[in-house]
Amino acid sequence: MDVLDWLTLLSYIALNIDIALQIKRIYQRKSSEDLSLLGMTIRYVAIIIIVIKFAAIGDLALIVGQSIAVVTFGTYFTLAVVYFRHRKEK
């Protein structure tokens, strides 16, 4: 991997820090009230499509970076759904 590949991976890590902070916020507040589950669903499908495209290209840095996004955003999305359902039960 060259310098650009490493910078790409670092960029993905930086982008996922925001998602990690959102996960922390949802967990601390025990609420996903201010989130759009439809918007999150659309974003998650887009993330998965992009990782499939990167896999087809075969670029390791992009595959790894986007796979990190799949995991972190998947966690974020799952937590949002859990608290959304919890809100509906009240």
Hey, where are the domains in the chain?
3-89
Distance CA 45, CA 89 (A): 27
- Size of the chain in residues: 90
Q: What is the pLDDT of residues 1-58, one digit of tens each?
A: 789 988 988 999 999 999 999 999 999 998 988 899 999 999 999 999 999 999 999 9
Fold classification of 3-89 (topology level): Monooxygenase (1.20.1280)
- What pLDDT score was predicted for residue 40? 95
Average pLDDT over residues 78-83: 93
